[in-house]
Structure 1
Amino acid sequence: MEQLSEYLMTQKITPLVNRYVITPPDGGEVLAFAEQKRLALKDELTLWNGEDRTRKLGGFKARQVIDFGATYDVTGPDGESVGAFRKDAKASLVRSTWHLTERAGATTVGKERSVGVALARRGWEVLDLVVPVIPVPPVPFVYHFDFVREGQPVLSVERKWGIRDRYVIRVQDPSLDRVLALCMAVGLDALQSR
């Protein structure tokens, strides 16, 4: 996989799976492709080099069946661990917070940049649950996650405004494993509402 500092991830929702296509920022050739089954008891995702699935790049898998604070192990193409990530359920009540652990043990904390956007998104989701008779259209809130280690930016994932889900993934720390970074970005979209 190319060691770029920026990627574009586009999601396509289908009835049974979420599809993710990762390209360079200009939208050129596909660098990575993944599908995540919806409503699976144990979340798992494989990252491939393209839609033809000729070469496995890595993936993630939950350690246990559905859990709000589940840990997801991330592996490279050979199945060897490259790190893990987990959602901090308590901190996520106000602003979604994730912990990203690299193979060497360094931990990075990622949070939604805007508390206001986080609260507005939660309010919209509650409205949809409380008043199910009135169809509440999905609002594509723009959110931005910043991952920081010891005060230094490591990774950011920004959802762009628009009808289709598009994300700009920026890897600010060149030593961050790209499979780990891309799996975290896909996980933010696929697992965020859990």
Structure 2
Amino acid sequence: MKPRLIIEQKITAFVNKYKVLNVTEAGQAGELLALAQQKRLALKEKVTFYSNEQKASTSFSFRAEKVMDVHGRYIVEDANENVVGMFRKEFKKSLLVSSWVLMNADGTELFRVKESNETIAILRRFIGFIPLVGELLEIIMLFFRYHFSFIDLQTNTEVGQYKKITLLRDHYSLCVTDDAWKKLDWRVFAAMGVALDALQSR
């Protein structure tokens, strides 16, 4: 696997900002590819990515196909509203372990994106219900980084990883194999990366 993208979130009083950066040969954050900005109290049906920090032009976006539909798809579109890919949340699976499916522009399902550590995923959901110590344990769980694996739906093999690379700040690294990277527009990977934070209130 090769590092492909680094996504950095910055939280302010009124907006969440996400920087999508390429990765240098040395494996460090490189130049800005896209900037997403989302009002913190706004509905999360659409997120727009701009080509620079001045937000002079739109690069791409993702939007919910249907408003307030937990089973619905999110459509990733370029600046001209042409579909470049899609993703959807697997609601039933996500009750225990967060799970998404990535699709190409034709709607063909290519990859499953799920939490890598199922034990931590389940603990995070239910540990707060333990009498007396639940709230303390929930705070402790915040310090456990949790990552996502990209699984090829044809071969059932891991072809990518999305990892939090800092303890306190929300900085993430996306690593994907060459074959998987070629199957999907990079903007779909970037949109999925931001969605894993923005749509799950991480």
For these two proteins, the number of residue pairs brought into alignment is 189
- Name the structure 2 match of 1:159: 164
What SS does the aligned partner of 1:117 have?
helix
- Name the structure 1 match of 2:196: 188
Given candidates 161, 181, 187, the residue that maps to 1:174 is: 181
Q: Residues 105 and 68 from structure 1, CA distance in 2 versus in 1: closer, same or farther, beyond 3 angstroms?
A: closer
TM-score by structure 1 length? 0.83
- Name the structure 2 match of 1:12: 10
In the alignment, is residue 111 of structure 1 matched against residue 118 of structure 2? Answer: no
What SS does the aligned partner of 1:19 have?
strand
Given candidates 110, 121, 125, the residue that maps to 1:122 is: 125
Percent identity, aligned pairs only?
Answer: 35
- Name the structure 2 match of 1:84: 86
Q: Residues 96 and 45 from structure 1, CA distance in 2 versus in 1: closer, same or farther, beyond 3 angstroms?
A: same
In structure 1, stretches of 5+ residues that fail to align are none
- Name the structure 2 match of 1:23: 21
Output the aligned Cα RMSD: 2.8
Counterpart-to-counterpart distance in 2, 1:19 and 1:32 = 11
How far did residue 124 of structure 1 move? 5.2
TM-score by structure 2 length? 0.80
Of Structure 1 and Structure 2, the greater helix share is in 2
**Post-superposition CA distance 1:92-129 (Å, at most 9, x none):** 111111011111332121111110121122235667xx
Q: Residues 138 and 180 from structure 1, CA distance in 2 versus in 1: closer, same or farther, beyond 3 angstroms?
A: same
- Tell me if the contact between 2:127 and 2:134 (Cα under 8 Å) persists in the aligned partners: no
Alignment of 1:36-115 (within 5 A): 36-107=38-109, 108-115=111-118
Question: Which amino acid is 2:15 matched to?
Answer: V
Counterpart-to-counterpart distance in 1, 2:141 and 2:15 = 18
Counterpart-to-counterpart distance in 2, 1:75 and 1:123 = 36
Question: Which amino acid is 2:32 matched to?
Answer: V
Counterpart-to-counterpart distance in 1, 2:31 and 2:52 = 9
Runs of 4+ in 1 over 3 A off after TM superposition: 123-127, 135-138, 152-155
